[in-house]
Chain A
Amino acid sequence: MLKILIPTVMLVVTTWNVRAKWLWPATLTHSLLISMLSLTWFAHTSETGWKSLNSYMATDLISTPLLVLSCWLLPIMILASQNHLSQEPANRQRTYISLLISLQIFLILAFSSTEIVLFFLMFEATLIPTLMIITRWGSQAERLNAGTYFLFYTLAGSLPLLVSILYIQTCAGTTSLLILHYAPALPMTSFADKLLWAGCLLAFLVKMPLYGIHLWLPKAHVEAPIAGSMVLAAVLLKLGGYGMMRIMVILEPLTKELCYPFIILALWGVIMTGSICLRQTDLKSLIAYSSVGHMGLVAAAILIQTPWSFTGALILMIAHGLTSSALFCLANTNYERTHSRTMLLARGLQAIFPLMASWWFLASLANLALPPLPNLMGELMIVTSLFNWSWFTLLLTGAGTLITAGYSLYMFLMTQRGPLPVHILGLEPSHSREHLLLTLHLLPLLLLIMKPELIWGWAI
């Protein structure tokens, strides 16, 4: 664990000490090396339980995929930000990269923590660099509004969580995940315990986000710069899912009754956000709403707590992280050229950027859950486990999958096919950096087809 964490901390030192000319190559290489090192976590020699264990941090079969995803994301974010930061003074570039690295550190600590309190601390701590990235480097006046929504939605959910964690500490005597599984069950009989249940889960549901409390997500995603959108979509949403997975263990037996409204909200959200996507004109907003939809499926799956649903949730989280991040990078390549996120103004791009069109195609197919990509595997497991739980859900998930396919294809056809307007002809050709960026997104996704056991979350 420390062999990943200390290099990441030292990456901050690298950022500030390397010469300006070598800033981007150096940080990119360093972070890429860290991510390669992090792949060693996948080697689970013990088939159950915790690995790389020390008193405060450990990796588990659930946290390992998410940890590797967060470590993988740092070099990709650095690669994506290189262009739009190139005009800023060097110190500001260094600050930006330091913010990304600090996010990385918090995320590693969050996913690998064995104590719920440490997880909560890191959960909150990730808000600060993200808020700084959105409000300082976002590009419109609405970003202040977006930052406010982002901050206060999450904080409003986290305060009950803090109280609940402290209560668990007093009640069960510990908040260590290693022990809580074996601790005697909390007496969950009074009305206050229902509030405890809600308090524990609300913060994570806001973070997922759940459909009714999702308003911060489109704003934050649209106003954030590319690295901000990427990290938000790929990892920060999964913090919510991971937290839910961890804390559900102690919340029995209330979940059986209390989860109903949230499952319904989540599944209804899949359909609603899908329909909203069909009418979106802003490309980033479309991808943001699609994130809400996918995470709704994940939230519903985690709430029903079966092994298959947990697996499906985990697979979908990883696959969606990579896919959503890839779509944001593609939208950014558009934006950097035309300076507009409106889809109407950037059409027919296949004619001038054919290779980028193939990445668009792959990413759109991944978004609509095409087999044999892990997106489908995750969705399928979730849909089947939900169907097993109640056959009504099939109507919602089926309709949701249909609409997802609809808007993914709509996005692809709007941007890539169609008449090429005259003002698009003089755009800059694609950079190799952009192709590399997308390869680094899509290659893991394609490789995961071969070995999905890595992200299953259970012992083979």
Chain B
Amino acid sequence: MSSWRRLHVKARTGGFLSSTPVTPRHTRLRGPFMPCQSLSTGRSLRKGFIKDLENQLSEMKKKAVDALPGSSWSPVLINPNLPPERADIVIVGGGVIGWSIAYWLKQKERVRGGLRVIVVERDPTYSRASTVLSAGGIRQQFSLLENIHLSLASADFMRNINDHLFVLKEDPVDLQFNHSGYMFLANEQVAHIMEENYRTQRSAGAEVSLLSPTQVKEKFPWINTDGVALASYGLENEGWFDPWSLLNAFRRKAVSMGVVQCCGEVTGFKYKTNVVNSVDGEQMFIRRIQSVKVQMPNSLEYQPVECAIVVNAAGAFSGKLAEMLGIGSSPEDSIAGIPLPVEPRKRYIYVVHCPDGPGLDTPFLIDYSGVYFRREGLGGNYITGTSPEEDEEPDTSNLDVDHEFFVDKVWPSLAHRVPAFEKLKVTSAWAGFYDYNTFDQNGIIGVHPLINNMYFATGFSGHGLQQSPAVGRGVAELILDGNFRTLDLSGLSFRRILTQEPMLERNIV
């Protein structure tokens, strides 16, 4: 009887619709007592046959569901990475500014699905993006009111980040916001500027305090207060955080709200030009972008995305994007001749290890010589750097680090200020670009006068990351409400560049 069942086994293995070869089963009955095997092979085989049948049925059902309308299968094979043919707003640049604008646009759209927003980023690894290579600090110690308000609003956003950027069923956002504050040190010559800035900052609502050298020595005994006349210490809403977390939080939330993410490079625009005669008789070409040409990475394939508005959040590479539209290519003395004054500037950051260094409550210290450092992690590591002189700007064609720069320019001042740093070891270093506004080193937010539908949010020169939530909100208000609502950022518009009136910060890093 059992031998007949074994024959039966051999004939029916494999199922009647599949083409698997018949394999002999090993469940041969060896005796009447089989403690670890089921005694009846027939039942398990019947089950196996039914399971096979069920598998096949579910496969057929899947195929049918794919072919029926309502599924995404289509007979025409389209590259799934291509951006859609039409979007309402195209944000060029997937850094923290770009994603912040995308999030705020979706936040303000009033009806679900009211706006089609796509963010175009050419490098999904963010290997050259300023956002992730940033030191990640946030401070309110600026001299311009707009900057202070932007940082305050952004700090408030980041403190309550899970009220804004929490996505259901995902982990809450953790920015690793170290609230250790910034400390600026001023010498005799610039102490009065620091005092004026302090008054501006306090009136704007920033929690900053002024400290004398003795107070500094009391608070932070590891500082050498030689040459320091005054110090400005941020008590609240200042410190540093993880830029990658902020970027990912914005991106995750924006994608969950329906923003389309596209990996590609913007290589051109299709625009319509109107010739306009200005009051002075000057002929101007007013352009209106009709579509953005997005090219796929490592390919000749491109997709023209028809759009109503383009936002230039390309950071260090915004100047190149503006050139595609002819900004800056006309003769010098016309409005069209003024280029977008944003160019990449390379800055180095060195990671040093000093076990006897300042403790855990060390603030982000910025000396009047321009050298800065902050604690990184809890293992005695610090990151440090400085801005090079105007005429010694490093080459921006690559992100290679110049270690000589550390030895020549950073270490001496650093060791002078913090004697413990005389003995340190450079464990790592990286370089990143500032989207440096060569005009006045402050952000440019607003529409270009000659291009009707391109909004700029670039040129933040090293403080873009810390202002990104508030900048995103401002740009979204500008686009959707027609004007700024919560913070008046009209001082940062293009106007100052056209009238050549720089809004300079006094004391920058």
Which A residues lie at the B interface, using CB under 8 A?
139-141, 144, 148-149, 279-281, 338-340, 342, 344-348, 419-423, 425-428
Bitwise, B92-114 to A at CB < 8 A (1) or not (0) is: 00000000000000000111011
23 contacts between A and B (CB under 8 A): A139-B306, A140-B84, A141-B84, A144-B74, A149-B69, A281-B115, A339-B86, A339-B291, A339-B306, A342-B308, A419-B481, A421-B479, A421-B480, A421-B482, A422-B447, A422-B478, A422-B482, A422-B483, A423-B308, A423-B453, A425-B452, A426-B452, A428-B272
Contact A281 B76 (CB under 8 A): no
* Nearest CB of A to B291, in Å: 7
Known: A281-B115, A420-B482. A426 touches B306 (CB 8 A): no
Which residue of B113, B288, B478, B481 contacts A281 across the interface (Cβ within 8 Å)?
B113
Chain B residues with Cβ below 8 Å from A420 are: 482
Q: Which residues of B contact A345 (CB under 8 A)?
A: 88-89, 115, 308-309, 479
- B306 and chain A: residue at smallest CB distance: A339
**Do A344 and B288 have beta carbons less than 8 Å apart?**
no
- Is B224 among interface residues, defined by CB-CB distance under 8 A? no
Chain A positions within 8 Å of B291 at CB level: 339
B89 to chain A: which residues have CB within 8 Å? 345
Taking CB atoms, residues of chain A closer than 8 Å to B85 are 139-141
Q: Is B78 an interface residue (CB 8 A)?
A: yes
Is B187 located at the chain interface by the 8 A CB criterion?
A: no
* Inter-chain contact A140/B86, CB cutoff 8 Å: yes
Chain B residue at minimal CB-CB distance from A421:
B482
C-alpha gap A148/B85 in the complex (Å): 19
Asked if B116 is at the interface (CB within 8 A of a chain A CB), the reply is: yes
**B307 near A344 (CB under 8 angstroms)?**
no
B residues less than 8 Å from A422 (CB atoms): 446-447, 478, 482-483
Q: Give the A-B pair count, Cβ closer than 8 A.
A: 82
- Chain B window 367-384, contacts with chain A (Cβ cutoff 8 Å), 1 for yes, 0 for no: 000000000000000000
Q: What 9 new A-B contacts, CB under 8 Å, besides A421-B482, A423-B455, A423-B479?
A: A140-B84, A140-B86, A141-B84, A141-B85, A281-B111, A339-B307, A340-B88, A340-B307, A423-B447
Tell me the B1-58 residues at the A interface (CB within 8 Å).
none
Q: Tell me how far the C-beta of A286 lies from the nearest C-beta in chain B, rounded to whole angstroms.
A: 12
Cβ-defined contact, A148 with B69, below 8 A: yes
List 8 A-B pairs, minimum CB-CB distance, nearest first: A426-B452, A340-B308, A419-B482, A281-B114, A423-B453, A421-B482, A340-B88, A338-B308
**Bound-complex Cα distance A260 to B79 (A):** 49
Compute how far the CA of A149 lies from the CA of B481 in the bound complex, rounded to whole angstroms.
37
Q: Are B116 and A348 in contact (CB under 8 A)?
A: no
Residues of B within 8 A of A338 (CB): 308, 453
Report whether A344 and B480 are in contact in the complex, using a CB–CB cutoff of 8 Å: yes
Interface pair A419/B286, CB less than 8 Å apart = no
Residue in chain A with minimal CB distance to B446: A422
- CB distance B306 to A428 under 8 Å? no
CB of B160 closer than 8 Å to a CB of A: no
Inter-chain CA distance A421–B478, complex, in Å, is: 7
Name the CB-closest residue of B to A423.
B453
- A342 x B274 contact (CB < 8 A): no
Q: Which residues of A contact B306 (CB under 8 A)?
A: 139, 339
- Nearest CB of chain A from residue B295's CB, rounded to whole Å: 18
Given the complex of chains A and B, what is the CA–CA distance between A226 and B84 in angstroms?
Answer: 21
Q: Report B306 CB to chain A, min CB distance, Å.
A: 5
User: Which residue of chain B has the shortest Cβ distance to A343 in the bound complex?
Assistant: B114
Q: Among the interface residues B109, B274, B288, B453, which one has the most CB atoms of the partner chain A within 10 A?
A: B453
Across the interface, which residues of B come within 8 angstroms of A427, CB to CB?
288, 452
**A144, A279, A421 — most chain B CB neighbours (10 Å):** A421
Tell me the complex Cα distance, A151–B116, Å. Answer: 28
Chain A residues lying within 8 Å of B483, measured Cβ to Cβ, are 419, 422
Q: Does the CB pair A339–B479 fall under 8 Å? A: no
B291's nearest neighbour on chain A, judged by CB, is: A339
Q: What's the minimum C-beta distance from A146 to chain B, rounded to whole angstroms? A: 12
What is the minimal beta-carbon distance from A344 to any residue of chain B, in angstroms?
A: 6
Contacts of A423 in B (CB 8 A): 308-309, 447, 452-453, 455, 479
- Within the complex, what minimum Cβ distance (angstroms) separates A213 from chain B? 14
- Residue B362, interface by CB 8 Å: no
Given contacts A139-B85, A140-B85, A420-B482, are A342 and B115 in contact (CB under 8 A)? Answer: yes
Name the B residues within 8 Å of A279 (CB-CB).
111
Decide if B78 touches A141 in the complex (CB within 8 Å): yes
Considering the complex, give the chain B residue whose CB is closest to the CB of A278.
Answer: B111
Q: B78: which A residues are within 8 A, CB to CB?
A: 141
Interface check B162, CB cutoff 8 A = no
| B274 adjacent to A426 (CB under 8 Å) | yes
Contact B69 A348 (CB under 8 A): no
B245 surroundings in chain A (CB, below 8 A): none
In the bound complex, how far is the Cα of B76 from the Cα of A339, in angstroms?
26
Set of chain B residues within 8 Å of A280, measured between Cβ atoms: 111
Q: Which residue of A lies closest to B288 (CB)?
A: A426
With both beta carbons as reference points, the residue of chain B lying nearest to A428 in the complex is identified as B274
Which of B86, B109, B110, B455 is the most central at the interface, judged by chain A CB atoms within 10 Å of its CB?
Answer: B86
Cβ of B290 within 8 Å of any chain A Cβ, yes or no, is: yes
Which residues of A lie under 8 Å from residue B455 when comparing CB positions?
423
Distance between Cα atoms of A52 and B85 in the complex (Å) = 49
Q: How far is the CA of A218 from the CA of B109 in the complex (A)?
A: 22
Return the CB mask of B276-289 against A: 1 if under 8 Å, else 0. Answer: 00000000001010
**Which of A338, A346, A420 is the most central at the interface, judged by chain B CB atoms within 10 Å of its CB?**
A338
Q: How far does the Cβ of B392 sit from chain A's closest Cβ, in whole Å?
A: 40
Chain A residue at minimum C-beta to C-beta distance from B272: A428
**Closest CB in chain A relative to B438 CB, distance in Å:** 25
Q: Looking across the interface, which residue of chain B has its beta carbon closest to that of A145?
A: B69
Residues of B within 8 A of A346 (CB): 308
List chain B residues, Cβ under 8 A from A144.
Answer: 74, 76
For B78, B110, B306, B452, the residue with the greatest tally of chain A CB atoms inside 10 Å of its CB is B452
Within 8 A of A (CB), among B324-355: none
Taken together as a complex, chains A and B put the C-alpha atoms of A420 and B480 apart, in Å, by 10
Nearest chain A CB to B495 CB, angstrom units: 12
A339, A342, A346, A419 interface centre (most CB from chain B within 10 Å) = A339
Chain B residues with CB under 8 Å of A425's CB are: 452
- Residues in chain B near residue A149, CB distance under 8 A: 69
Residues on A with C-beta less than 8 A from B286 are: 426
Residue of B nearest to A348 (CB): B482
> In the bound complex, what is the Cα–Cα distance between A427 and B309 (angstroms)?
13
Q: Which has the most chain B C-beta neighbours within 10 Å: A141, A338, A340?
A: A340
Closest A residue to B70 by beta carbon equals A145
Which A residue sits closest to B276, measured CB to CB? A426
Inter-chain contact B116/A342, CB cutoff 8 Å? yes
In the bound assembly, the distance between CA atoms of A56 and B478 in angstroms comes to 62
Contacts of A426 in B (CB 8 A): 274, 286, 288, 452-453
- Pair A342/B88 contact, Cβ less than 8 Å: yes
Contacts of B86 in A (CB 8 A): 139-140, 339
B243-280 at interface with A (beta carbon < 8 Å):
272, 274
Nearest-neighbour CB distance to chain B for A120, whole angstroms, equals 26
Partner of B109, one of A344, A419, A421, A428: A344
Nearest-Cβ distance from residue B12 to partner chain A, whole angstroms = 43
Q: Assuming the A-B contacts A148-B69, A423-B447, A426-B274, are A344 and B482 also in contact, with contact meaning beta carbons closer than 8 angstroms in the complex?
A: no
Give the chain A neighbours of B481 by CB distance below 8 A: 419, 421
**Chain B CB within 10 Å, residue with most, of A144, A421, A426:** A426
**CB-nearest residue of chain B to A335:** B308
* B308–A339 CB distance below 8 A: yes
In whole angstroms, what is the CA distance A346 to B452 when docked? 13
Q: Which residue of A lies closest to B289 (CB)?
A: A339
B290 and A339 within 8 A (CB) = yes
> Which B residues lie within 8 Å of A344 (CB)?
109-110, 114-115, 480
In whole angstroms, what is the CA distance A346 to B307 when docked? 13
**Distance of A412 from chain B, by nearest CB (Å):** 17
- Which residues on B sit within 8 Å (CB–CB) of A139? 85-86, 306
Residues in A neighbouring B446, C-beta threshold 8 A: 422
Closest to A148 in B: B69
Bitwise interface map of B from 426 to 459 toward A, beta carbon under 8 Å scored 1, else 0: 0000000000000000000011000011010000
| Closest A residue by C-beta to B310 | A423
